[in-house]
Amino acid sequence: MIRRSLGWALAFTFCISGCGGNGPTSENPGGSTPAPTAATQCSALSGLSIPASSIAVPTSGATITSATLVETSGEYCQVNGAIAPVDPAAPSIKFQVNLPTRWNRKALHYGGGGFDGTLITGVDPLDMAPAGTSTPLANGYATFGDDSGHQSSSITDGKFAANDESLANYGGVSLKKTHDVAMALIRKRYASAPDKVYFFGSSTGGRDGLSEAQRWPQDYDGIVVNRPALNYTGLRLSNVVLGRALYLNNGAGWLDVAKTVLLQNAVMTACDALDGVADGVIANVAACKAQSATVLASLRCPSGADSGDTCLSDAQIATVQTIAAPLQLPYPLANGVTRYAGYNILAGSVFAGPNTTRDLGESRVPANPAGKKDANQWVTGDQWVKYFVTRVPTFDSLTFDPLNPGTYQSRVQTVSALTDATSTDLSAYVAKGGKLIMTHGLADEIVSTDSSTDYYNGLVQRFGQSTVDGFVRFYLMPGVGHGTGPFHPAVDSLSALDQWVETGKAPETLSMSDLNAATLGRTRPLCRYPRWPKYIGGDINVAASFQCASS
């Protein structure tokens, strides 16, 4: 196939659809040129080259490797391609853009997860989508996503970060590259730019969404971010702190699954009813945190030494306290950040047991490199130390002290500038009229819930509550972990965002329904921060039995 430039192909398509053409024929007696079919318009995209000049950040251009008309779930053109790096040693960015035949004149960019490395196709249901709802693509959105600029079979594989361009892509640059390519393809297919462009992401994808608002605010009209790993470097430093608490001193501070569940059950017993009802969900987190010292004291082994799975040793209690406490750094990360918030391990976060697929590992002695039998948080921390910071694959990450990284401190700060989405300067996004919906589960075991609270409070400090109310909605979700937890929520946040952007009607209290099999279909109000759902009487499985309260 002869490779065509995007500009040439645009002119060609516009001409065959509107520049006159052949005179009358037996097949076309009227003499007018029939409009090209969706199949024709789709196939015309295959083999296109998009020049580097069409992409606002440095690349070596993009190539469309395939364009296929798909007739299931609503007809659309599936376009796949690659964005070439500047550094020939860096991997290409693989992307997919889906162009529905019946377009609603909107576009939606999907974010990734973990260390990425897997192509985000844009054809799947959104994270936390209500059961039975159509995908955005089926509803007429042009959708797109990428692999962040490297390819891996595991979202905990950090090897890509040994290359500078690959690391920068993961830090957010791939988002801009893919966005610009997607916009070029949308204009090519429909002879028009979209009226509205949205972003939707969770975890790393949530960080991505905030990065877009901070770095390329003109590109998006509305953004949904869930459990965002926004303070990315702080998160990874806290992973290392957790691992060191578990594994140093011959693993004296390590908690097995039985001890972790013992702790969680004690917290639930102390805190479940503080929101008015014992339902396996802790909603009044502030009151629960006030019980922390009492809970830990009740679990202490009589002598402070480990005497089995019916109690916690002093070293294990110290680990729990380390996980719960904020990490205070003696040096600044990007945007002057010196803190990573603690976890709600003493207020309902789920670190082991039936409501999560993750725990603190199977052994008090970790592998090097960390593997599936080690604490999930340590795996990502270990990969980050090895490939983002030291770039020594055999490095013993337990020797890396986040509070005193020594000669690696400047490298940590460099990586922070590349990867973190902590700037509260959203002035350009506010001026554009952009809207932001942010959610975070109160039982998150992977990304600190309070890291999102810290960011939101930073926005209020910068802009004032009234201005923030005009462009942000922030919701904390009781019982919700990192895609896990005793409450597995379904929330139609994209519709709420779209209505806000299109009509100016800001969302207030939303509703979330439970997708867990044992409690399928129960509902709760999703309250705007800082409020939480308080039981006021009635069926505990119905949202109307709760009201949003602040005390």
Residue 271 CA to residue 113 CA, distance in Å, equals 31
Of 375, 245, 363, which Cα lies nearest the Cα of 314?
A: 245
> Is the pTM here over 0.75, yes or no?
yes
Distance CA 489, CA 218 (A): 31
b/e map of 384-399 (b: 16 or more CB within 10 Å)?
Answer: bbbbbbbeeeebebbe
Residues 93-111 have a mean pLDDT of 98
Residue 524 lies in a domain: yes
Instruction: Give the per-residue pLDDT at 551.
Output: 85
Residue 311 has pLDDT above 90, yes or no: yes
Tens-place pLDDT, residues 20-37: 333 333 334 444 677 889
Q: Which two tokens stand for residue 421?
A: 């989405």
Average pLDDT, the chain: 94
Task: Pick 483 or 8 by higher pLDDT.
Answer: 483
**Res. 6: pLDDT tops 90:** no
Structure confidence at residue 407 (pLDDT): 98
Provide the edge-to-edge strand list for the sheet that holds 523-526.
489-490, 510-514, 523-526
Domain match, 177 and 257 both: no
**Average pLDDT over every residue of 324-343:** 98
95-108 average pLDDT score? 98
Residue 330 and residue 446 in one domain: no
**pLDDT > 60? residue 132:** yes
Q: Is the pLDDT of residue 103 over 90?
A: yes
The answer to whether 207 touches 181, Cβ cutoff 8 Å, is no
Between CA 267 and CA 277, with CA 273 as vertex, the angle to 5 degrees is 140
Structural domain count of the chain: 3
d(CA 394, CA 387): 10
Report whether 543 contacts 523 (CB < 8 A).
yes
pLDDT surpasses 50 at 8: no
Q: Does 203 fall in a domain?
A: no
Q: Which residue has the higher pLDDT, 36 or 522?
A: 522
Q: Give a yes or no: residue 213 inside a domain.
A: no
Residues 115 and 254 in one domain: no
> 44 pLDDT exceeds 60?
yes
pLDDT digits (tens, 9 = 90+) for 172-222: 999 999 999 999 999 999 999 999 999 999 999 999 999 999 999 999 999
Q: How far apart are CA 458 and CA 177, in angstroms?
A: 29
Residues 398 and 306 in one domain: yes
CA-CA distance, 317 to 306, in Å (whole number)?
11
Where does the pLDDT of residue 72 fall: very low under 50, low under 70, confident under 90, or very high at 90 and above? confident
Q: What is the pLDDT of residue 547?
A: 98
- pLDDT band of residue 125 (cuts 50, 70, 90) is very high
> CA 424 to CA 406: how far, in whole Å?
29
Of the given ranges (1-15, 313-327, 450-464, 526-540), which has the lowest mean pLDDT?
Answer: 1-15
Cβ distance 230 to 416 under 8 Å?
no
Catalytic residues: 203, 444, 482
| 369 assigned to some structural domain | yes
Which of 134, 165, 194 lies at the terminal end of a domain, its last residue?
Answer: 194
Q: Is residue 205 part of a domain?
A: no
pLDDT at residue 32 in the model: 65
Contact 166, 176 (CB under 8 A): no
> Please, how many CA atoms are within 13 Å of residue 7, restricted to the half-sphere of its CB?
4
Report the distance separating Cα 545 and Cα 531, nearest Å. Answer: 16
- Residue 133's CB is within 10 A of a number of other CB atoms, namely 15
The residue from 388, 419, 450 where one domain ends is: 419
State how far the alpha carbon of 38 is from the alpha carbons of 48, 69, 99, in Å: 17, 8, 10
Are 306 and 447 in the same domain? Answer: no
Is pLDDT at 489 greater than 60 in this prediction? yes
The reply to whether 268 and 346 lie within a common domain is yes
Angle (deg, nearest 10), helices 314-324 and 292-299 = 160
Residue 331 has pLDDT above 80, yes or no: yes
Measured distance CA(99)–CA(102) in Å, rounded:
9
The answer to whether residues 386 and 484 belong to one domain is no
Distance CA 363, CA 383 (A): 19
**Domain annotation covers residue 150:** yes
| Phi, psi for residue 73 in degrees, rounded to 5 | 55, 40
Domain containing 358: what range?
234-419
Beta strand pairing call for 222-226 and 435-441: parallel
Would residue 214 count as lying in a domain? no
**In-domain check, residue 200:** no
Within this chain, do residues 85 and 177 fall inside the same structural domain, yes or no? yes
pLDDT at 5 over 80: no
Whether residue 444 is found in the same domain as residue 383: no
Contact yes or no for 353/268 (Cβ under 8 A)? no
For residue 199, which of 211, 190, 188, 189 has the smallest C-alpha distance?
A: 211
**Could you tell me what percentage of the chain is helix, strand and coil, using 3-state DSSP and rounding each to the nearest 5?**
40, 15, 45
pLDDT tens digits for 141-183?
Answer: 999 999 999 999 999 999 999 999 999 999 999 999 999 999 9
Q: Are residues 369 and 454 in the same domain?
A: no
Find out whether 123 and 137 touch, Cβ atoms under 8 Å.
yes
pLDDT of residue 24: 36
Q: What's the CA gap between 49 and 222, in Å, rounded? A: 29
Rounded-to-integer distance, Cα 303 and Cα 82, Å? 61
Do both 13 and 124 map to the same domain?
yes
Cα gap 334→415, rounded to integer Å: 9
Averaged pLDDT for residues 368-388: 97
Rounded CA separation 455/232 (Å)? 12
pLDDT at 4 over 70: no
Q: What is the pLDDT of residue 244?
A: 98
Domain boundary among 141, 167, 194: 194
142 sits in which H/E element? strand 142-146
Least confident of 22-36, 234-248, 472-486: 22-36
What is the rounded end-to-end Cα distance, in angstroms, of the chain? Answer: 67
Is pLDDT of 131 > 80? yes
Identify each DSSP E strand in 418-460 by its residue range.
435-441
**In terms of domains, do 48 and 157 share one?**
yes
CB atoms within 10 A of CB 119: 17
pLDDT at 34 (0 to 100)? 77
Is the pLDDT confidence value at 2 over 80?
Answer: no
Between 27 and 227, the more confident residue is 227
Closest of 135, 6, 16 to residue 70, by C-alpha: 135
